[in-house]
Amino acid sequence: MNPQNPPRVIHPWPLRVMHWLNAFAIIVLIGSGWEIYDAAPFLPFSFPQWMTIGQWLGGAIAWHLAAIWLLVINGLSYLTWGLLSGHFRRKFLPLTPRMVIQDMTQALRLHLPHETGVYNAVQRLLYFGVIFLGILVVLSGLAVWKPVQLWFLSDLFGGFFISRVVHFVAMTGIALFLAVHLILVALVPKVLPPMITGGRLPENTTPTTTMAE
Amino acid sequence: MKSLPLNRRKLITRALGFGAIGLLPGCDFDHPNHPDLTDRVLSAMSRWNDEAQATLFDRHTLAPTFPASAITRPARFNAFYDISQAPQVNPGTWQLALTGRIANKTPLTLADLRAMKQESQITRFVCVEGWRVVGQWSGVPLAHVLKAINADTQARYILFHCADGYFTSIDMASAMQPQTIFALDFNGGPLTAPFGAPMRLRIPTKLGYKNPKSIVAMEVTNRFPGGYWENQGYNWFGGS
């Protein structure tokens, strides 16, 4: 094997490990969060019991405040790794409104541009968006958890109740992202195995993808 | 770059397949005497969260206070029983029994507490369920009571027993926070039975279940005392 040209995986191992840890944490946090919401709903609906995790409020809070450590530690690792390894720069940039409009038009016509190892502009925008929502949901969650000790966060969001609303809205955005994410995987199932095995980039890739991870 | 022509029917059936992911093994976390592995992990994480909250706690950080116009009316009753079941305590014969690491164990009467320095606060009461109300409570700062009875304020915990069988405990640092009071009055008059007459703990740096009502006994201890809800799975520190 030529050391200058090692096998180029689609998803390097740190990304795969963090992806599945994150998937587990997010499912637990959303499921237990819905149970917590149900204890005092502020909208005219509750989540059905079968969709929630924890079975009762005490169980849901225990799950929620256990999984948050996994989400935060894993999320900080991801942000650090993404910045230092150049992953964000290579995969998420460049991103211009023109690119987004172009790819969005294609996606809405159900002609999804897909090239192995390359994110289209809509995907890039969605990843930026969900990372932002992830930061927002953690900060608003801290504001709900500790409105006295973390009063500055509570004040930032406009008080205890608005923190709850922001937390709920951010969760909704992440849940919608997750739905789109899963539907896309269902549509293009060949993208799933590489998130487990790493996969291999095809030989004749375009110059943007030749930079090995 | 190739485009993928999509089949809408395939889309729906595959999406349904992913629905199965939602069926995670259930964990009820409600059998404290027969904990399974998940229960043990969640309990350990809850103890870890107690430590994290104790580290985050600063006794000089005050809970926000509110104007009288913000007081929630009518006041909201909440307990593990109906309002008609609230314990009726005779204020004339009521005493606060004192046990544990306290030098002067003479039980305190209402007259004793009324004679001590009084503090008034309009603070927010946040329930673990997520709702909150604002009320006015007046009474004696707990730090002042502990000093008056010569309690060991280096001890770790304070345990409270209530007339209705409820019990809960708090850490010493939170007990010494200036807004932590033995409340005697609520919204301008003496406490009524549903709201914890004749004396309750009002601790605005903790969630509602750490604010025991109709207290009849207090113990200062280094042995972890747990609590009614805490022993069933609620987080012990319960900080706000």
Specify if A116 maps to a domain: yes
pLDDT band for position A204 (cuts 50, 70, 90): low
pLDDT classification of A112: cutoffs 50, 70, 90: low
This model of the complex carries an ipTM of: 0.83
- In this complex, do B17 and A53 lie within 8 Å of one another by their Cβ atoms? no
Q: Is residue B199's pLDDT more than 90?
A: yes
Q: Which residues are bridge partners to B46 per DSSP?
A: none
DSSP string, B148-183: HTTB-TTSSEEEEEETTS-EEEEEHHHHTSTT-EEE
Does A137 score more than 50 pLDDT?
yes
The reply to whether A23 falls in a domain is yes
pLDDT tens, residue by residue, B105-127: 999 999 999 999 999 999 999 99
A172 and A111 inside one domain: yes
What is the number of structural domains in chain A?
2
Which residue's entry shows tokens 């896309």?
A: A184
> Is residue A213's pLDDT more than 80?
no
Beta strand spans in chain B (E): 2-5, 97-100, 119-126, 132-141, 157-162, 167-171, 181-186, 189-190, 200-202, 215-221
Note whether A185 and A103 are same-domain residues.
yes
**pLDDT on residue B30:** 53
Q: How far apart are CA B50 and CA B54, in angstroms?
A: 6
Facing residue for A151 by CB, picked from B41, B64, B132: B64
A85 and A101 within one domain: no
Whether A200 is in a domain gets the answer no
Q: Is residue A210 part of a domain?
A: no
Q: Which residue of A has its CA nearest to B123?
A: A148
Q: What is the mean predicted confidence (pLDDT) over A127-147?
A: 96
Q: Provide, for chain A, the percentages of residues in helix, strand and coil under a 3-state DSSP scheme, each rounded to the nearest 5.
A: 70, 5, 25
Give B176's contacts (C-beta < 8 A, 6+ positions apart): B59, B142, B143, B146, B153
- Listed by number, the residues of chain B in 103-162 with a beta carbon closer than 8 Å to a beta carbon of chain A are 124, 126-132
Q: Please compute the mean of the pLDDT values over residues A186-213 and round it to a whole number.
A: 69
pLDDT exceeds 90 at position A101: no
What is residue B68's three-state secondary structure?
Answer: helix
B37-232, CATH topology level: Sulfite Oxidase; Chain A, domain 2 (3.90.420)
* Six token digits for residue B148: 């008056």
pLDDT at A114: 67
* Residue B165 CB neighbours (<10 A): 10
- pLDDT greater than 70 at residue B4: no
Q: Buried b vs exposed e over A34-52: b needs ≥16 C-beta within 10 Å?
A: bbbbbbeeeeeeebeeeeb
Q: Which of B129, B206, B235 to mutate to test the interface with A (most CBs of A within 10 A)?
A: B129
**Residue B93, number of CB atoms within 10 A of its CB:** 8
A17-76: per-residue pLDDT in tens?
Answer: 999 999 999 999 999 999 999 999 999 999 999 999 999 999 999 999 999 999 999 999
Per-residue pLDDT reduced to its tens digit, A154-164: 999 999 999 99
Residues A73, A116 share a domain:
no
**pLDDT over threshold 80, residue A211:** no
Listed in sequence order, the residues at least 6 apart from A58 whose beta carbon sits closer than 8 Å to its beta carbon are B29, B30, B229, B232, B233, B234
Residue B131 to residue A111, Cβ atoms within 8 A: no
Full domain range(s) for residue A75: 10-89
Residues A98 and A80 in one domain: no
**Is A1 domain-assigned?**
no
Query: Quick one: angle between helices A57-85 and A121-145, nearest 10?
Result: 130
pLDDT band at B184 (very low <50, low <70, confident <90, very high): very high
The residue out of A89, A124, A153 marking a domain boundary is: A89
What is the identity of the amino acid at A65? L
Within a domain: residue A68? yes
Claim to verify: residue A37 and residue A62 sit in the same structural domain: yes
B6-44 residue pLDDT tens: 444 444 444 344 433 333 344 445 555 667 888 899 999
Residue (of A92, A122, A93) closest to A110 by Cα position: A122
Please tell me the distance from the alpha carbon of residue A125 to that of residue A134, in angstroms, as a whole number. Answer: 14
